[in-house]
Structure 1
Amino acid sequence: MTTNNGRALTAPQLEGAVWKKSSYSGDSQGQCVEVADLTVTPFAGKRAIRDSKDPEGPALLFSASAVAGFLTDLRDGKFDI
């Protein structure tokens, strides 16, 4: 998790972030992952991920290239069990 002066960042600290819910998240179960492109924030070039059930809670920050690589590996079946 990216920190701000040694403290964990929470989603509300990412002012300007526009959150998008995953199309694979279940509507009725509340099992939702949301991602934000942080281009218009002080964290430009990063992507934030949060649990939509806890929008005031922690947000994990990753580089755009790390997220792209993860999604490529996911599509390629590298995590299939």
Structure 2
Amino acid sequence: MKLSNILIFSTQISLILFLSFEQIKVRWEISILYGNQDKINLEYQNLKEEEYKLKTEVYFLNSPARVEKYAKEKLFMQKVKPKIIKIEK
């Protein structure tokens, strides 16, 4: 009976040690994942800011006033005035 008690006790101790190490490993992995999440959130915010800047630049570059100014200054284009045609009966 004494040998079986020692065997059960040693099995319980080894199981407790194993589970303790597993718990430490899982907590370590969770802390690493939280760190990764912070990095990903920071990168996401930076990308959102970059997207906002690029959208602003697109709206600026495609604005009608800027396109007209570029056409006049760089391409030497002129605004054509429409001809008025009168039709008499």
Q: Shorter-chain-normalised TM-score: which range?
A: under 0.3
Work out which of the two has the higher radius of gyration on C-alpha atoms and give 1 or 2.
2
TM-score scaled by length of structure 1: 0.20
Higher helix share: 2
Compare relative contact order (CA 8 Å, sep 6+) and give the higher one, 1 or 2.
1
TM-score scaled by length of structure 2: 0.19
Higher strand share: 1
